[in-house]
Structure formats: structure tokens, C-alpha cells
Amino acid sequence: MRQPQLANCSDPLDLILQEHDTHQSWCNLLEEIADTLPDSVDQKKAHRAVEILKYDLPLHHSIEEKALFPVLMKYAASDDNVGEIVAHLNEEHVVDESFAEELIEFLEVLANGKLLEDANMFGYMLRGFFENYRRHIMWENSIVLPLARSRVTAEGLRELSSLIVEQQTHFRNTQLSHCSGNCKECKKKS
Ligand SMILES: [Fe+2]
Ligand SMILES: [Fe+2]
């Protein structure tokens, strides 16, 4: 369920589309957790959900906010209303990340094999999150990516690729600098 890397995908818009496919499976995972509350949640799945919300989601947001959206704004036509679309999506990213922070606290309890005091409330929060997130993905896939496909030139796509690599590298380095030796990258090296 790892997010695709640009090296494995020559077209940066296809990469984002592939990431969105991965995100559909994140939503399914969160739904599975919600369905198995209060006492049958798989600890490994809860742990994976923590990783997704802590690391993968902010990386994807950063790729969109610092790479895709600026390139799209640069190449869009003035009547595409891209400013409005991007502002709306950025707002949703902020809301989702703050929502995700709350979810992480509960998921960490489940990942440690403990029961939640208020599993009903958590289930409600979790469902609110993944239902909104599915809508967000659908909106980006049906409006933003087709618009980018029709407006961004070959030169713009190259620019987008290098901005994406910049974000991926920045995130990997940030993650490693906070690592206690237990992350996937360190385990891969050992
Ligand atoms: Fe987004
Ligand atoms: Fe997205």
C-alpha cells in the first residue's frame, strides 16, 4: 500500500492518479477498522493507519500544494477558476490533517492492543474522515487532473516531475532526521 515513486512512473499526473488509487485502499482500511470496533481491530492495521495519517497523507498534500497546484495555476486559462478550486482543496487539506491528528491518538491506542473508552465516537469520527476523503479524491480525479492534463505542457510536466521529487526527498530526509531507527527506510538498510 506504499505510495508510488516517480521513478516508477514517467508521467507525474499518472503518478498522482496512482497515489489516489492507493488512497482508496487507505479509505478501505480505515473502514475496516471502523467495522471491527470496539474489540476486534487488527493491531497491525491500526499501526499502518497511523503511518498513513502521520507520514503518507502529509507527503501527498505537500506534493499537491507545492508541485501540482502551482504548476496548474501557471498553465491554466484565466477562465478555468483554478484559484478558487485550489483554495478549496487547500482548505480541505488543512481540515483533513487536523482531523487526522485526532484520529492518530485513538489509532495508537488500538495499535497498542488496548480498547478505546469511547469506540462509538471514534467510529463516527473515522467514518466522517474517510467519507470526506473519498469525495476529495473523486473531485481531484474528475476535475483537477483532467484540467492539468489539458493545460500543462510537456515543459510543465517536466517541471512538475522535478518539484515532486523535491517534495519526496524533503519528506524522506525529514522523516529520517526524526527516526529512532525503526522506520521502513532504516529497516531496509539494516
Ligand atoms: Fe488533495
Ligand atoms: Fe490528492
Domains annotated for the chain, with CATH where assigned, are 14-172 (1.20.120.520)
Span from the CA of 92 to the centroid of ligand 1 (angstroms):
7
The DSSP output letter for 182 is: -
By the 8 A CB rule, do 92 and 63 touch?
no
Per-residue pLDDT for the chain (190 aa), expressed as one digit of tens each? 456 666 556 899 999 999 999 999 999 999 999 999 999 999 999 999 999 999 999 999 999 999 999 999 999 999 999 999 999 999 999 999 999 999 999 999 999 999 999 999 999 999 999 999 999 999 999 999 999 999 999 999 999 999 999 999 998 888 766 555 555 555 555 4
Span from the CA of 113 to the centroid of ligand 1 (angstroms):
31
Q: What's the CA gap between 100 and 94, in Å, rounded?
A: 10
Residue 181 pLDDT: 57
Residue type at 72 in one-letter notation: L
Span from the CA of 65 to the centroid of ligand 2 (angstroms):
10
Q: Which of 22, 84, 62 is nearest to 163 (CA)?
A: 62
Buried b (16+ CB within 10 A) or exposed e, 90-105: eebbeebeebbeebbe
Span from the CA of 80 to the centroid of ligand 2 (angstroms):
19
Q: Which ligand is nearest to the CA of 141?
A: 2
Q: What's the CA gap between 8 and 41, in Å, rounded?
A: 33
Residue type at 170 in one-letter notation: H
Span from the CA of 122 to the centroid of ligand 2 (angstroms):
24
